[in-house]
Structure 1
Amino acid sequence: MHIFNSRKFFTCSSLRPDVNSPNIQPAFKYATIKLIKSQASCACEVKGHGVERQMLLTAVYKQRRILRLGKLLTVIGAGVAIALVSGFVWVTRSPIDLGQAGKAARADWTRAWQAGEVVALVRHAERCDRSDHLCLGPEDGITQVGNDSAVRVGKGFTSLGMQQAQVFTSPLTRTVQTARAMFGQDATAQPWLESCGSSLRNEVVAHKVAQRNLVLVTHSGCISDFEKQTGFPHAIAADYGSTLFVRIDAKGQLEVLGILNAEAWSRLNSD
């Protein structure tokens, strides 16, 4: 009886049967060859599965890239939309500039003045203590340059007509001097035009007399307070001598008409 020698039957490198070994029987040799062919076929199948797996991974990777690109485009689109909205808000965050507005806006403002429905909040002229220009008087007052600018603003109001208008000012020197330069006389001082704060809107409405315009010479902080209370919380700070125009009708309904800078009065008067 032939004894099978396992050490000669398998090679050390592959652990496959050595079909050329003289110790292997013919029948077993045939079976061994079939086994080797079967293993080769399995190896081909495994290789085939590996190719398919690689193709699948490639497709998944491409799909993920497309999804990431889509997300990136979405983020960029959202950023552009936010920038456009922010730009729009930035442009419209302050009342309209009446000096640059069309004739329709100016005509509306003029009609409201003629009807005695306007409140005009005027910022005082250039401060002496914050300028190198020659002071008009005390250091807490205005400069000579500011006084000249206030005179031009006053001429603009006079051209509109001051017959049905009241003029109030804060008690501080710079507003008193500004009002005097504008209208050639002292105005009535009102402490609430200095303190301002959250009650300013109500104070303005309470002091508005029907069919009489109201000119209030005050401060940039007060004008900012008023704008916050009337729908413009991020408005640009008022320049020296600029005027915020507001309409208050007989029912007490308030509408911000726009703002007019000091130098714009000259252009309006020449039109």
Structure 2
Amino acid sequence: MLPSNTLPNPAILARPRRRRSPMTLGAAFGLVLALVGGGAWLATRTPIVNLGNEQQLSDSGLLQAWKDGAVIVMIRHAERCDAAPGPCLAEPDGITVAGSQAAQRVGQGLHELGLNGADLLSSPKLRTRQTAHFILGQALASADWLGTCDPQFPAEAMAHKRPGHNLVLVTHNGCIDHFARQQHVPGGERASGYASALFVSLDGSGKARILGRLNEPDWQRVLASSGR
């Protein structure tokens, strides 16, 4: 027989097992649902690829899609005169001198891609018309929907895309945001820098796919490295 001081305490043996609180189980179940739901939400998000990265440019399929005339490119106007300290090109609601130079560099990049057969349109606002002039060396036809930037912008852009012809749109951050929003791009990735370009391809059924964004400083470098 064991000494009495080694016997288990009857009070401990009699202690009932602790039951999990229904509130605790409910909270855990809710956490699981939240995690699953969060994963599904993330799966629907469309990140914008940085085409300034040579590998991502190659993987995006942009160069082939451009050859096929299957691309819409939305270019934000260059640096605004009324929002920058540099000298203005002309009127305060236009672009800066530095902005005009940036637009010329974008234009050189677009010409490297090739503009034969491309359709070219600009917002009627002065800053976009000036940007378009320095990008393309000519005045462009303008369209009000490129300056209104309402939720109908994505439908308008796709309606103006002709099969086999790339479409170049010089527009505003708000318009580009509407297109990116429709494609489920997260809010933190939708903002476009001055003179940056968002490239979108359309397949044979008219379904849009964002290929990526090319910022103004990267045009010449990446196109040169890709053999353009």
TM-score (norm 1): 0.68
Q: Which of 198, 212, 221 lines up with 1:258 in the alignment?
A: 212
CA distance in 2, matches of 1:53, 1:249: 75
Query: In the alignment, does 2:178 pair up with 1:225?
Result: yes
- Larger helix percent: 1
- The 3-state SS of whatever aligns with 1:263 is helix
- Say if 1:98 and 1:105, in contact at 8 Å, map to a contact too: no
Greater RCO, 1 or 2 (C-alpha within 8 Å, sep 6+)? 2
**2:173 is equivalent to residue 215 of structure 1:** no
Change (3 A) 1:103 1:148: closer
Measure the CA separation in 2 of the matches of 1:243 and 1:55: 73
Query: Residues 48-63 of structure 1: matches in 2 within 5 Å?
Result: 51-53=9-11, 56-57=14-15, 60=17
Report if aligned partners of 1:94, 1:236 keep a CA contact under 8 Å in 2. no
1:254 to 1:93, Cα distance in 2 relative to 1, 3 A: closer
In structure 1, the partner of 2:129 is 176
Cα 1:96–1:134 shift into 2, 3 Å = same
1:224-250 Cα offsets, whole Å, 9 max, x none, are 011112222523311111111111234
Gaps of 5+ in 1: 1-50
The equivalent residue for 1:45 is none
The AA in structure 1 aligned to 2:91 is: P
Decide which of 237, 242, 245 is 2:191's aligned counterpart. 237
Inter-partner Cα distance in structure 2 for 1:134 and 1:176 = 18
Separation in structure 1 between the aligned mates of residue 95 and residue 166 of structure 2, nearest angstrom = 25
What do the CA deviations read for 1:170-228 (whole angstroms, capped 9, x no partner)? 01011001000101111111100011222111111111111111100000011001111
Q: Where does residue 95 of structure 1 map in the other structure?
A: 48
Match of 2:118 in 1: 165
| Paired amino acid for 2:75 | V
For residues 50 and 222 of structure 2, the distance between their equivalents in structure 1, rounded to whole angstroms, comes to: 13
CA contact (8 A) 2:50 2:213 kept: yes
The question of 1:154 aligning with 2:107 is answered yes
Which residue is 2:5 aligned to? none
Do the aligned partners of 2:74 and 2:169 also contact (CA within 8 Å) in 1?
A: yes
SS at match of 1:269: helix
Number of paired residues? 205
Separation in structure 2 between the aligned mates of residue 186 and residue 125 of structure 1, nearest angstrom = 15
1:249 and 2:215 correspond: no
3-state SS in 2 of match to 1:137:
coil
- Do the aligned residues in 1 keep the contact of 2:95 with 2:130 (CA within 8 Å)? yes
1:142 aligns with 2:103: no
| Aligned residue number for residue 193 of structure 1 | 146
